[in-house]
Amino acid sequence: MRQLTTFRLYLLGIVLLFVGYVVLEYNRPKPLNWTPTYTNKDKIPYGAFVLYDQLPRLLGTDSIEAVRLPVYNQLTGTDEPGPIDASADSATVTQGEHNASSSTESVAAQPIPKDDTSALHSNSKWVALAPVKKAKANYLFISQEFRIDRADTRALLAFASLGNDVFIAAEDFSEQAPFLRDTLGFSAVETLLPTRKGSAGLPVADSIDLRFTNPALRHAQIRLPGAWAQHFVVDSGRVGRTLATDAQGRAVFIRLNYGRGHFYLCSAPLAFTNYYLLRPRSAAFAAAALAYLPARRTWWDEYQKQGPASEQSLLRVVFAHDALRQAYYLTLVGALLFVLVAARRRQRIIPTLKPLPNTTLLFTRTVAGLYRQGSSHALIAEKKVGLFLDYLRTRFQETSPDFGDPDFRERLSQKAGVPRPRVDELLRLVNFARTAPRMTDHQLLVLSKALSDFRREANR
């Protein structure tokens, strides 16, 4: 008993420790996520929830729309990109050649005015512009890497040439957007930052100071951590203007003219995240950078960060094609059949257990057969009479009944609820069975039936 009590105490202690651990883990503050996501729904330090929320105030317009479509689909309103003219992509035209062809080339069925052709780089490749919509708008891209293919680039260039503005803040331009880089004539290079010794004695990259070239925006400075290698946008020098630089005078924010519109390129997307917008000293940089955009309809790109809004399942590629979808369903059905068949084949066979034979009944039948072998059934009648006497003793508390006593017969009739004539007839048969030297089959059958009827009526 003492050992059982000690075991219960140990078990209770283990349960209490487990419950306490679960409570501590549930109430423990979650570790801060410093991953740069730049999405408009993330409230982590390097998300863009604050910027997207304050964008109507910064741009002076309530027409802000989050876009979850590729650039080509958003600007043209079509589902599939048009054919790309390979000869136009491979041909390099000079400034004069572009001026000569400006009367025949069109953007959304409208020719580009000749006074805007100076915005094109003289060494850039000619782009077959896409038929984009004519709506005036700004297009904002804020992400870690700016990824864009040729069809999207054609649409974006046509969009800017119509007098719209494109704002791109990303660290990586050169590898993910080569066609846009070559067309606009800019380059993005990675520079090594100076290091210093940290608290642990390991080298740590210095912070980066960013400032605007406009003297009126000297207050809008920001210092970014040097935890990552910084990419600096370098203008070609022929078109565009440097709007912000680092402490060494290297460009980090530039404006490139294209047609009647502009491209704003910034290599410091961290300046537009929640962490720096919620700090009064660093919030002015993002506000000043976005102040270059006109107050009009603005599209905020989320496609490059979150993908399309229609389907976010990991199997969206499988479900998008009939052959892959059918193969997926066949695989599921085959796996289910395999599990069912394998489980049935490996199931342990349950043996059939036969019920134990009723030896008591067999013994009774054997003894009854022995009694029935003789011509007289007096012994069987004697056994039945003995059982009847035991029934009277246990059921009606008649320990020593006198069958010849009228009072006993009347009392038995009242207790059993059987009429007196039937009781007299039953006791007559019982007295005959007790005194007769021999019993025939018929006499035994009459006695047995009379006893059974009496018991059935008495037990009602």
Distance, in Å, from the CA atom of 414 to the CA atom of 424, rounded to the nearest integer, reads 13
Q: How confident is the model at residue 78 (pLDDT cuts 50, 70, 90)?
A: confident
pLDDT digit string, tens, across residues 129-183: 567 877 899 999 999 889 888 889 889 999 999 999 999 999 887 666 777 888 8
Distance, in Å, from the CA atom of 192 to the CA atom of 52, rounded to the nearest integer, reads 32
204, 211, 212: which is closest to 228 by C-alpha? 204
- Averaged pLDDT, 208-236: 75
Contact of 163 with 261, CB cutoff 8 Å: yes
- Cβ atoms < 10 Å from Cβ of 191: 13
Q: How confident is the model at residue 10 (pLDDT cuts 50, 70, 90)?
A: confident
The answer, yes or no, to whether residue 117 has pLDDT greater than 70, is: no
Q: How confident is the model at residue 302 (pLDDT cuts 50, 70, 90)?
A: very high
Distance, in Å, from the CA atom of 118 to the CA atom of 438, rounded to the nearest integer, reads 143
Distance, in Å, from the CA atom of 243 to the CA atom of 140, rounded to the nearest integer, reads 17
In this structure, of 32-36, 133-137, 187-191, the range with the lowest mean pLDDT score is 187-191
Residue whose tokens read 């389907």? 311
Residue whose tokens read 């006198």? 402
374, 363, 220: which is closest to 291 by C-alpha? 220
Distance, in Å, from the CA atom of 8 to the CA atom of 278, rounded to the nearest integer, reads 55
Q: For the chain, give the mean pLDDT.
A: 79
What pLDDT, on the 0 to 100 scale, is given for residue 84?
A: 45
For residue 269, with 0-12 CB atoms within 10 Å meaning exposed, 13-18 middle and 19 or more buried, which class applies? Answer: buried
Distance, in Å, from the CA atom of 394 to the CA atom of 251, rounded to the nearest integer, reads 116
Residue whose tokens read 């009064």? 280
> In which element (H, E) is residue 322 found?
helix 322-346
The answer, yes or no, to whether residue 273 has pLDDT greater than 70, is: yes
- Cβ atoms < 10 Å from Cβ of 307: 12
> Which residues does 407 contact at the CB level (< 8 Å), separation at least 6?
none
DSSP-assigned states of every residue in 48-113: -HHHHHHHHHHHT-S-EEEE-S-HHHHHH--SSPPPP-HHHHH-B--HHHHHHHTTT--BTTBPPP
The answer, yes or no, to whether residue 203 has pLDDT greater than 60, is: no
What pLDDT, on the 0 to 100 scale, is given for residue 204?
A: 57
- pTM assigned to the model: 0.58
What pLDDT, on the 0 to 100 scale, is given for residue 439?
A: 82
- What letter does residue 279 receive in the DSSP assignment? S
∠ CA(51), CA(57), CA(58), 5° rounding?
65
Residue whose tokens read 């490139």? 256
pLDDT digit string, tens, across residues 385-410: 899 899 989 988 888 888 888 888 89
Q: How confident is the model at residue 359 (pLDDT cuts 50, 70, 90)?
A: confident
How many Å separate Cα 270 from the centre of its chain? 30
- What letter does residue 120 receive in the DSSP assignment? S
140, 237, 147: which is closest to 185 by C-alpha? 237
